[in-house]
Amino acid sequence: MKIGVLDIQGSVEEHILMLKKCGVVPVSVKRIEDLREVRGLIIPGGESTTIGKLLKRFGLFDEIIKRARSGMVIWGTCAGAILLAKNVIGQKGKIAVDNLRLMDITVERNAYGRQIDSFETDLDFDFGKVTKKIPAVFIRAPKIVNNEKTVKILANHEGEIVAAIQGKLLATTFHPEMTGDLSVHKLFIGMCK
């Protein structure tokens, strides 16, 4: 099975390494042609405004929306979660994010503060049949501040939503690729089967 990692900005190599450890073939997605050969797509953490602009510049923006609507599985981590969200809120005066508006969530950008406020913690993550404690890295992280009833909450941190799923869309506001734990990547791979 081939799973794509959007390769235009952000923590691409980390996701590719995790996918290899899980035994799937990672594909660096830079063009529409790359997108056509994958079962699922990871939109990595990075800078959401930049990634949104580059998606449009490289012609991937509309193609990702089209593929998502036809059933492609997509996982957004950190900035990727922002890009998946229907609504994005943030600090006044900031440039608007060109988000894909696919998932029925509202995400607040940089909700935990600046780079200096980054942190690591353990989360209780709902994997369906079992809830498991996993490590999580938060870097200038957003949080999910609102969700529709069709969105299932998978993890919280201090009462704030940090992971959710809706159909074939998965959002984590933290970076599972920055830990040695393969659990969330395996969940995503399972969604792609």
The pLDDT tens digits of the residues spanning 27-76 come to 999 999 999 999 999 999 988 989 999 999 999 999 999 999 999 999 99
For residue 103, pLDDT beyond 90: yes
**Contact between 164 and 150 (Cβ < 8 Å):** no
56: closest CA among 100, 25, 120?
A: 100
**Binning pLDDT at 50, 70 and 90, where does residue 95 land?**
low
**Total domain count, the chain:** 1
192 annotated active-site: no
Domain that holds residue 117: 2-192
| CATH code for the domain of 112 | 3.40.50.880
175 annotated active-site: yes
> What does the pLDDT average to over 3-12?
95
157 annotated active-site: no
Q: Which residue among 15, 177, 185, 192 is the active-site one?
A: 177
Q: What is the pLDDT of residues 8-38, one digit of tens each?
A: 998 999 999 999 999 999 999 999 999 999 9
For residue 92, pLDDT beyond 60: no
Structure tokens at 72: 């492609």
Q: Which residue among 15, 78, 108, 185 is the active-site one?
A: 78
**Binning pLDDT at 50, 70 and 90, where does residue 111 land?**
confident
Q: Which residue among 157, 175, 185, 192 is the active-site one?
A: 175
**pLDDT score, position 96:** 66
